[in-house]
Chains A and B, each alone.
Chain A
Amino acid sequence: MLSLRRSSLLLAGLLVVSACATRPPADEPEAVAEFEQTNDPLEPFNRTMFAVHNGIDTVVLRPAAKVYETVLPQPVRTGVGNVLSNLRSPVVAVNDLLQGNPDRLLVTVGRFMINTTFGLGGIFDVAGATGMPGHSEDFGQTLATWGVGEGPYLFIPVLGPNNPRDLVGRGADVAADPLTWILANNGNTAENLGYARLGLTILDARANLLDTVDAVNETSLDPYATFRSAYRQNRNQQIRNAGELPSTAGPLARRAQPGNAAAAEPDAGTGALQPR
């Protein structure tokens, strides 16, 4: 058993070593600067994982998302997305707290209460429609606000673009989610509900990305590089809490600016405006 573990460790080590991108020679400062800027020392390994992901996506994820989009009309899909966001509220609230944002914590808790009741279990984003749009947080972002670096870029099949910090954050979020424990410890029905939630989350996420991913794959000369760059920029925006819909009600309302066209979109859903 021990030797098996040792040899698999050795194998993993070899894989990582052989998968390292070659650092450009020091006499090419621009190339070195770009290498560091790109933050992808495991690029060959990541590109392999990207190919694996594309295989899975072509055969399973994208067709499933297409069916989901075709079968359910937009209002229903919006409702599903709203319910999933609402169920994530406890995790968002914990991260609001850990990031030291009491106002944002109040918004998350208030939205959860309003949408769970008046929004019929979170189907309707009543709070968002009345000027208190939601936001998302995760433990990867919390670690970033604590000054933890992202580490080398990683591409993980199914999960997509990633890095060690965000992977750890994802694990922490699952552990911090009360639903994880409630659904895991209450018999078969609860367990199946957990799987249903996971499945719907994947479908919802992939369906929201259909147009965007298709467009990148069609127009980018190197989709891997495009997704890598876009992910890291987008992640930085999320960490800064920039680009969110402004509030016209609730604890964050005083920061709202008058004459904002985006605020006039009551059904824009939770979080930032999302590309369709």
Chain B
Amino acid sequence: MNRRTLLASALAAPFALTALGHFAVPAAHAEIDINTAAQFVQTTGQDLVGVLNSNQPVAVRRQQVAAVLRKAVDVDGVGRFILGRWWRVATPAEQQEYMKLFEETLIRNLSARFGEYQGVRFSLGRSQQRTEDDALVNTTIERPNSAPFSLDWRVGEVGGQPRVVDVIAEGTSLRLTQRSEYSAVISRNGGQVAALLDAMRRQIAALAARETR
């Protein structure tokens, strides 16, 4: 029994999974400057940490998180990437509903855990250009009473603006992992996108219940 192998089953760190797990946008086509990307991650991270650590009521903070996410992420692009081949199987009504639920999931995953993120800090690590189109910006996330962990943000240029394309922890890309998850739900329900939408609705309800606890 070795530790690495079990560790290997770890998805991202919980923070990444729940807070940033849905920050994925399809690959952008304009090449992005590494410094622009690092600056963008710095600003977005500060905004997010500021909201997470503020003393405002939960509902207010949820609104603020939603605003930060909408500014930093092309939610439509992320959502489409994750739905993958099922996007064309879905009816236009299902596509629309999926996008709505996807954004809601993204926000609720953060707001349900405001308590856990109290005291979170982050700092930029090494920055490096990884692919021809995207920049990979490394950050270190620290929470009280937890070992720090490393998180890579893949930043692309969408509509002339830097946007987070993916978040990678321990070599695990969250958009790829989530695509696998959503596809499994649909496949196991006879290829019905509606089954995924049901599961997403239940998840949002559960997260909302958790928030009021």
Contact = CB atoms under 8 A, between A and B. Distances in A.
Interface of A: 30-31, 34, 38, 74, 81, 84-85, 88, 136, 138, 140, 158-162, 166, 170, 173, 198, 201-202, 204-206, 208-209, 211-216, 219-222, 224-231, 233-238, 242-243, 246, 257, 259-262, 265, 268-269, 271-276
Closest 3 A-B residue pairs measured CB to CB?
A237-B171, A275-B13, A225-B184
B172 interface: yes
A34 B85 contact: yes
Nearest to A245: B150
A233 B179 CA distance: 13
27 contacts: A34-B85, A74-B145, A84-B3, A160-B6, A161-B5, A205-B1, A211-B14, A212-B10, A212-B11, A219-B17, A219-B18, A221-B196, A226-B180, A230-B177, A233-B171, A234-B9, A237-B170, A242-B171, A243-B150, A246-B126, A261-B140, A262-B138, A271-B4, A272-B150, A273-B147, A274-B147, A275-B149
Nearest to B12: A275
Interface string B38-76: 000000000000000000000000000000000000000
Contact of B4 (A136, A162, A216, A276): A136
Contacts of A160: 5-6, 8-9
Nearest to A271: B4
B109 interface: yes
Q: How large is the interface on B (under 10, 10 to 19, 20 to 34, 35 or more residues)?
A: 35 or more
B27 interface: no
Contacts of A229: 172, 176-177, 180-181
Contacts of B176: 229, 233
Contact of B183 (A34, A246, A260): A34
A79 B148 CA distance: 17
Nearest to A235: B8
Contacts of B194: none
Contacts of B32: none
A220 B200 CA distance: 10
Nearest to B128: A257
Nearest to B21: A219
B182 interface: yes
A161 B8 contact: yes
A268 B147 CA distance: 7
A196 to B, nearest CB: 13
Contact of A260 (B126, B177, B178, B182): B126
B179 to A, nearest CB: 8
Nearest to A236: B171
A198 B199 CA distance: 39
Interface in B157-190: 169-173, 176-178, 180-185, 188
